[in-house]
Amino acid sequence: MDTQNSSSNSRTTVSFLLPYANPHVLDWVMKLNDSVLLNIGCVNPTLQYRPGYFSEYDEIEGIYYFYKGKESKKRFFQRLKEGNVLVSLGIFEKELLKVRRYCHKNVRLIVLSEPFNPINSERRNILRRIWGSIIRLLYNRVDFFCIGGEDVKKYFQRLGFKKSRFYQFGYFPDLKFASIAAKSEENQETIISFVGQLIARKGFDRLLKLIDYLTLSSYQYKLFIAGDGPNKEQLIQKIQHISDPNIQYLGLIDNKKGVRELLKKTDIVFVPSYFDGWGAIVNEAISQSCAVISSDQVYASKLLIVSDFNGFIFSHNFERYFEKYLSNRQLLNTHQLANKPIYDKWNSKNVALESLKVFEGKSSSLITEV
């Protein structure tokens, strides 16, 4: 990315400022390598944001990691004037103040928005409005890629960004081993998986309700639960108490391959969160032909799940959707196969190329305005 030659001189440079090496951003950003010159700066190590979370992303050649030394940060700043587009993951990154002086005069700031969080959206709003005013003074043009669509647009408009343009967007990990194919209709058991933190926000109480529903049903099933968190012991005690061999707690799966292997044999992925700023497990479920039953507060599901097409979205009473799948294998298989056009549309490579059109001021059939 830092190498200059005769062929690269004709390509524009797009700069990315990230608080850390977020895998779900870098996976699609790196797909731009053949089309533009990339200037990527990461402020902090992944460990500071996500303990044990894909630390290999802190070692990608060509990325400028600020925390590894002043020279790395200096080189990122020097290259900012090579292009007139700066993409920032979040608008509340203090480095945005420092980098402005190094940017092109007419730089366009594109913010990969923090997802709108209905739980804490009203906190510190006065400070956020002040910060927004500062950003608008420094940058003549600020547009948003909205992770959460209309909710995010309204939120940032309340913070003063009324002249900005807002585009529908999300997180798109690079799923190199996607396998979208029919799962056997001859399976006697329906395999259900929950993958996530065992915390209240992730719908832990709904997970317990699912266990109760399944154990009282007459259907043949297996439920796999993968994750960790403060409610781990409560879950283990419940599973021990009901003593159902069809319900298994797998502990934390902390690598992509392990999650992929689980989803390969899974029919239904359950995503019951009360709020999820994205929910990459939805991307992964789609890539492995899993139907998804998700709450309506998971932004990945809002974009990638079409209810009664490749899954179901609920606000309450999720049990009725499990009833539909458990009683109708043909419907389940139809929804699993329906993931293919969704994946083809929103895979990381396609997202990268369509995003570039927006960066260049062109229209995109995929990244559309909210």
Summarize pLDDT for 107-122 with one digit per residue, the tens. 999 999 865 565 555 5
182 occurs within a structural domain:
no
pLDDT in tens, 251-305: 999 888 899 999 999 999 999 999 998 899 999 999 999 999 999 999 999 999 9
pLDDT in tens, 51-91: 655 688 999 999 999 999 999 999 999 999 999 999 999 99
**Residue 209: per-residue pLDDT:** 98
Q: Is the pLDDT of residue 176 over 80?
A: no
Mean pLDDT of 210-216: 98
- Which CATH number fits the domain that encloses residue 208? 3.40.50.2000
- Which CATH number fits the domain that encloses residue 66? 3.40.50
* Domain co-membership, 238 together with 219: yes
**Residue 196: per-residue pLDDT:** 95
180 occurs within a structural domain:
no
* Domain co-membership, 78 together with 147: yes
* Domain co-membership, 169 together with 243: no
Look up the pTM and report it. 0.85
Strand (E) or helix (H) holding 142: strand 141-147
**Residue 122: per-residue pLDDT:** 59
241 occurs within a structural domain:
yes
* Domain co-membership, 158 together with 204: no
- Pick the closest to residue 37 from 74, 12, 4 (CA basis): 12
Distance of alpha carbon 148 from alpha carbon 304, whole angstroms: 12
Q: Is the pLDDT of residue 3 over 70?
A: no
365 occurs within a structural domain:
no
**Residue 121: per-residue pLDDT:** 57
368 occurs within a structural domain:
no
What are the angstrom distances between the C-alpha of 306 and each of 21, 91, 302, 309, 341? 30, 30, 8, 5, 11
Instruction: Please give the residue range of the domain that contains residue 94.
Output: 8-174+347-359
HEC-encoded secondary structure of 299-330: HHHHHHCCECCCEEEECCCCHHHHHHHHCCHH
Distance of alpha carbon 280 from alpha carbon 287, whole angstroms: 11
**Residue 116: per-residue pLDDT:** 58
Q: Is the pLDDT of residue 194 over 80?
A: yes
3-state secondary structure of 109: strand
**Residue 6: per-residue pLDDT:** 41
Confidence of residue 20 (pLDDT cuts 50, 70, 90): very high
123 occurs within a structural domain:
yes
- Pick the closest to residue 17 from 82, 56, 71, 66 (CA basis): 66
Number of domains, the chain? 2
* Domain co-membership, 260 together with 271: yes
Please write down the long-range contacts of 253-261, taking CB distance under 8 Å and 24 or more positions apart: 253/195, 253/226, 253/227, 254/52, 259/195, 259/226, 259/284, 260/177, 260/284, 260/288
Average pLDDT, the chain: 91
Highest mean pLDDT among 113-127, 130-144, 160-174, 251-265: 130-144
- DSSP code, position 184: P
* Domain co-membership, 211 together with 326: yes
* Domain co-membership, 222 together with 297: yes
Distance of alpha carbon 339 from alpha carbon 193, whole angstroms: 17
- Answer for the pair 29, 22: CB distance below 8 angstroms, yes or no: no
* Domain co-membership, 21 together with 142: yes
Q: Could you tell me how far CA 326 lies from the centroid of its own chain?
A: 28
* Domain co-membership, 352 together with 333: no
* Domain co-membership, 140 together with 95: yes
Mean pLDDT of 156-168: 94
* Domain co-membership, 255 together with 332: yes
40 occurs within a structural domain:
yes
369 occurs within a structural domain:
no
- Pick the closest to residue 235 from 250, 216, 218, 214 (CA basis): 250
- Pick the closest to residue 135 from 153, 109, 106 (CA basis): 109
Distance of alpha carbon 237 from alpha carbon 243, whole angstroms: 10
* Domain co-membership, 100 together with 51: yes
pLDDT in tens, 245-256: 999 999 999 888
